[in-house]
Amino acid sequence: MTKTIAILGAGAWGTTLANLARVNGHEVRLWSRQGDLSLEDVVKNAEIVLSAISMKGVQDVALLVKSCQVSPHTIFVTATKGLDAKTTRTPSQIWQTEFPDHSVVVLSGPNLSQEISQGLPAATVVASKNTAAAQVVQQIFSSGRFRVYTNSDPVGVELGGTLKNVMAIASGVCDGLHLGTNAKAALVTRGLTEIIRIGKVLGAKTETFYGLSGLGDLLATCNSPLSRNYQVGYQLASGKTLTEILASLPGTAEGVNTCQVLMQISQQQNITMPITEQVYRLLETQVTPKQALDELMLRDTKPEYHQ
Ligand SMILES: NC(=O)C1=CN([C@@H]2O[C@H](COP(=O)(O)OP(=O)(O)OC[C@H]3O[C@@H](n4cnc5c(N)ncnc54)[C@H](O)[C@@H]3O)[C@@H](O)[C@H]2O)C=CC1
Ligand SMILES: O=C(CO)COP(=O)(O)O
């Protein structure tokens, strides 16, 4: 059945998701700050409101939507991969707080938008506490080129997509320094362990991180020059400053902000995050890429815990 869908954020990801829904015959209205359509008109009578806004704009946009007329049956979908700098909340927690009586669905997976726009095959996950709402979103986006799975752990799915961005920066550094395949395998594997350790404290289920939105997105983003986060790390390794890199980067690299938020969480909750800490110190110019590598390699010896 044809659905009316409001997509907020007309960047790389919002535009790609809009096209996937349009190809499946849905009526899509795309909103951005610079566009001609008013937010009020875009969300009015929309059965789905999907946000693909960068993390820094999510809270403000959620409040703007709250001031509009929204149907009581509207399902909110969030596709943002980040953490709020002030409150450390995830995007789905922000939408659910502002719309406590509505279903909220997280959409996240190994989804480099450029490949999907080219028509290359990909899979993703839609997760919600409300299974029926996740199934509605699954039907909207599923096609022969985009395979959509449901999941009942929205926070786990969301954190998989968010936390891997920090590991993608680290992987870009690893490749930029030409450290080799063994080093990259060690980094990504220990990165997953670190993601699981943080994710469990933040309320995710461990097994979710072994799925598409966890390991799947970690592999995609840590291995692709199409990832903006990977590019940040790669270019830092080549000696550019963060300011120079961000000035020429096409779109948002959420891992930079996420890394800062994770450092707050690690200090508050006493969680060991060695890779995140070295990425943070590198972004803050407290260490060089080579020093960050040495710090990680020369940590105290220990057994190989997986969590
Ligand atoms: N591009 C990709 O391959 C994928 C991106 N994502 C996630 O989707 C989100 C958006 O990514 P992209 O579309 O690539 O970024 P982008 O930089 O291309 O677009 C960001 C959009 O957010 C809007 N925005 C930013 N700050 C805003 C504010 N304060 N108020 C209102 N609107 C604001 C921008 O105007 C733009 O429309 C990020 O969280 C990213 O991690 C998720 C999966 C794939
Ligand atoms: O999340 C993504 C792929 O799943 C996109 O990665 P970047 O934001 O690093 O480009």
Ranges assigned E (strand) in 156-294 = none
User: Under 8 Å CB-to-CB from 129, ≥6 apart: which residues?
Assistant: 103, 152, 154
Give the number of the ligand closest to the Cα of residue 214.
2
Number of helices (H), then strands (E), belonging to the chain: the values are 14, 7
- Quick check: is 302 catalytic? no
Task: Count CB atoms within 10 A of the CB of residue 3.
Answer: 18
pLDDT for the residue numbered 289: 98
CA distances from 212 to 18, 46, 158, 204 (A): 21, 29, 11, 15
The single residue listed with the structure tokens 């590598």 is: 293
Q: Give the SS3 label for residue 70.
A: coil
Structure tokens at 113: 């938008």
108: Cα separation from own chain's centroid: 7
Ligand 1 atom with least separation from CA of 13: 13
Beta-bridge partners for 27: 4
On whether 227 is known to bind a ligand per the annotation, the reply is yes
- Residues 132-176 pLDDT 10s: 999 999 999 999 999 999 999 999 999 999 999 999 999 999 999
Beta-bridge partners for 147: 123
Say how far apart CA 82 and CA 164 lie, in whole Å. Answer: 10
Task: Count CB atoms within 10 A of the CB of residue 283.
Answer: 21
Ligand 2 atom with least separation from CA of 254: 8
Closest by Cα among 128, 30, 43 to 77: 128
Among candidate residues 56, 164, 205, 290, the one labeled active-site is 164
Whether 51 is in the pocket of ligand 2, judged by its Cβ within 6 Å, is no
The single residue listed with the structure tokens 């953490």 is: 83
Structure tokens at 111: 């989804």
Q: Give the SS3 label for residue 298.
A: coil
Whether 228 is in the pocket of ligand 2, judged by its Cβ within 6 Å, is yes
242: Cα separation from own chain's centroid: 20
Low-confidence spans in the chain with pLDDT less than 70: 306-307
